[in-house]
Structure 1
């Protein structure tokens, strides 16, 4: 199986690579359109600020490649947020894969939110073997409000969407590569899709 992690300069790439290796697979880092299109599975990571990450995607012309992919694609953290229509962070237009907008947490809660949150209402094959109340690890100041494409929720000051799905595209706000056994199970499920 060919697994490609999109390399565009805004990723927590090594920890994802190690997590995949622990599952018995190797992942290739690439920003090459042909290589990404040939992959069986694509992981779209992201750490950093939305508008500069989107600019890096545009410079590598990946903003036009990612929405057209046909194989399973997993957006992680900022990767998931960039798959949405718009982010309040830097007033950024996203890839428009998910019909959702990314909002900043209100000042009434401590941001960034760093730590473990419980999953609520996990559905879809991505969460096979994962239970309501299992913990995942998050680091974020922006979130996706509850929406129709939600496949799992969580709560921080308010309920929000922590995982999304549309067709072959999946997105998780949390870091599966840092979410212990639960995250490992979710990565394993993604690689089985």
Structure 2
């Protein structure tokens, strides 16, 4: 069975992600042990909270993640996705992992729109051949909770979503994949995305 490590660095809704991956057919373990991570088929980087705090807590694991992603896929979810980028602008300018070019910016205020962006919204599939979105219909709805968004190039944008502005809601560069939305909270569509990730390993 495919082994997926959920990286425990002190932030994130680990249990719901674990349940989602197990339902999708993976053998999962929550760990901060980098030796266990090194033996996994894939790594999931969860995260809920502030960019700066996430990067601070992740600092001791950065070099191991860089080594890992050279050979095998990592999937970042929510804050985990945002930390894949180069720069985060939450509570000042902070350096991210830099695995995907781009920055993380706060949604601008706009009449009629609440921040955070919370609830169901749909996806425009920008990369039709992405294995992560195999079998996912254009316009599918998924679940979001975030006040900051990924500002990255089209070449790294797997899906886009419109809320206040159009932004990258799923990204990829090499073996680094990320979703701003929560697949584990997105019903059948999210389950299919997790199954696709497992199939990629």
Q: TM-score, normalised by structure 2?
A: 0.92
Q: What is the aligned partner in structure 2 of residue 40 from structure 1?
A: 41
- Whole-angstrom CA distance in 1 between matches of 2:152 and 2:31: 32
TM superposition shift of 1:65: 1.6
Verify the 8 A CA contact 2:11 2:48 in the aligned structure 1: yes
Q: What is the aligned partner in structure 2 of residue 63 from structure 1?
A: 62
Find runs of 4+ consecutive structure 1 residues off by over 3 angstroms.
none
Q: Which structure's relative contact order is higher, taking Cα pairs within 8 Å and 6+ residues apart?
A: 2
Q: What is the aligned partner in structure 1 of residue 157 from structure 2?
A: 150
- Whole-angstrom CA distance in 1 between matches of 2:45 and 2:15: 13
- Whole-angstrom CA distance in 2 between matches of 1:5 and 1:168: 16
For structure 2, the 5+ residue unaligned runs are: none
Q: What is the aligned partner in structure 2 of residue 102 from structure 1?
A: 104
- Whole-angstrom CA distance in 1 between matches of 2:27 and 2:39: 15
Structure 2 residue corresponding to 1:137, chosen from 132, 140, 143: 143
TM superposition shift of 1:117: 0.9
TM superposition shift of 1:37: 1.2
Q: TM-score, normalised by structure 1?
A: 0.95
For structure 1, the 5+ residue unaligned runs are: none
TM superposition shift of 1:122: 4.3
